[in-house]
Amino acid sequence: MEKLRERAAAILADGTVSLVIGYEEGTKRPRPLFCHDGESARKLIFDSRCFHNLAVYLTKKELVGNGRFAVTATISTLRSIMQLYVENQLSEDKLLILTVDLSGTLREFVTFDEISAYVEQFELKRSEREQAILTRIEGMTREERWNFWQEEMSHCFKCYACRSACPLCYCTKCVVEVNRPQWINPWPAPVANMEWHINRAMHMVGRCTACGACGDACPVGIPIDLITRKMMEDMAPEFGYIPGLPVKKGNALSTWKLDDREQFIR
């Protein structure tokens, strides 16, 4: 950790970057920190409690400006950064990635390929929480699943924290803001809420890297991250992807194969 602070302070001091986005101690758990100088870099921490997906900030021009910036990245954050690279939302000459590996060594990455070689070693596994809820859902009949989600949806008040926390929801105009005509009703109600979530999930096909930021952000505790999580797991074999490992070969929905599955087409 000391190495990370030193390195962050050094690259800020010598002008390599003008901003380091990392973590600091928060009131209950670590939280994002923006370092503009060596002094604030002293507050940096990086450990297993750091869970925010800082990739969400990297596409915000008002924060990162036009210069080069650095970010301390967890494995989840790295996966998102890879996907942002795939979607041409980040450029390799603007970003410097710092991370600390399992042996405590400070690692630095710049390119997609460097990140990929590192992330490859980590299999994307369901967390205990994800496993518990998904097993429950998978054991349900369709009617039970419907009731489960209707109950959950009835709590959604459409704050869109799920969207705001998602590093891949970087659209300047989101589909919920399309209002000529109003495509998805903006008021909270079970069907309008479900339409919103199905829509978001559809926009995540082949893109979601299962970081769980959306579910974590939801103030009313809806496990929405599991909708995209399940979809991602289902789709990866269909489309020949490894879950959570973005590849530069075109997004699932912008490409196709002649022999895509079609048993359900009559």
Partner 1 sequence: MSSEEIFEPKIVAFVCNWCTYAGADLTGTSRLKYATNVKIVRFPCTGRIDFLLLLKSFAQGADGIIVSGCHPNDCHYTSGNFHARRRWIAFRSILDMMGVDVRRVQYSWVSAAEGSKWADLVNNTVADIRALGPYTDYQKVADYLEKEVQDGEA
Partner 2 sequence: METKYISKSGIEQWFKSIVDSGKRVYAPVNSRDQIEFKRVKNLSEVADEYVQTTQSIKASVYPKAEVLFSYEKEHGKVHLTDFNPDSIPETVLWKVHPCDAAGFKPLSAIFNWDSPDKLHNAHVQKTSVISFSCAMADESCFCTSVNGSPGNLAGSDIQLTMLPDGGAIAEIVTPKGEALVALSPTVFEADKGEDKTKYLVDLPARFSLEEVNAKLNKAFNSTVWKEQSERCIGCGACAFVCPTCACFDIQEDVHGSTGRRIRCWDACGFGLFTLHTSGHNPREHQSQRWRQRLLHKFSYMPARLNVVGCTGCGRCSRACPVDMNILEHITSIAEQ
Binding site for ligand SF4 (CB under 6 A): 156-163, 169, 171, 174-175, 200, 203, 217-218, 220, 222, 224
Stretch of 55-63, 120-128, 144-152, 242-250 contacting partner 1, by CB under 8 A = 144-152
Q: Among residues 188, 216, 241, 245, which is the contact residue for partner 1, using CB under 8 A?
A: 188
User: CB 155 → ligand SF4: shortest distance, Å?
Assistant: 7
Q: How far is the CB of 112 from ligand SF4 (least distance, A)?
A: 21
Kindly identify the residues of this chain, within the stretch 216-235, that bind partner 1 according to CB under 8 A: 227, 230-231, 234-235
What is the identity of the amino acid at 207? R
Q: Residue 199's closest CA among 163, 238, 149, 251?
A: 163
238 binds, among ligand SF4, partner 1, partner 2, none (CB under 5 to 8 A by kind): partner 1
248 vs 169: CA distance, rounded Å: 19
Contact mark string toward partner 1, 240..259, x via CB under 8 A: ------------xxxxxxx-
For residue 86, the one-letter residue type is: V
For tokens 């490409």, what's the residue? 255
Rule CB under 8 A: which residues touch partner 2?
26-29, 31-34, 52, 56-57, 62-63, 151-152, 155, 157-161, 163-165, 177, 182, 185-189, 213, 216-217, 219-221
How distant is the alpha carbon of residue 101 from its chain centre?
Answer: 20
What is the spatial order of strands in the sheet that 106-109 belongs to? 31-35, 19-24, 69-72, 95-100, 106-109
User: Closest separation between CB of residue 218 and partner 2, Å?
Assistant: 8
What's the CA gap between 82 and 88, in Å, rounded? 10
**What number of residues does the chain have?**
266
Q: In whole angstroms, how close is the CB of 106 to ligand SF4 at the nearest point?
A: 29
Structure-token pair, residue 247: 């590849």
Report which of 152, 171, 169 is spatially closest to residue 218, judged by C-alpha positions: 152
- Residue closer to ligand SF4 (CB basis): 40 or 89: 89
How far lies 232's CA from each of 6, 124, 158, 183, 211, in Å? 38, 11, 23, 25, 11
Amino acid sitting at position 1: M
Residue 54 CA to residue 78 CA, distance in Å, equals: 9
Query: Which residues contact partner 1 by CB under 8 A?
Result: 137, 140, 142-150, 154, 183-184, 187-192, 194-195, 197-199, 201-202, 205-206, 227, 230-231, 234-235, 238-239, 252-258, 260-262, 264-266
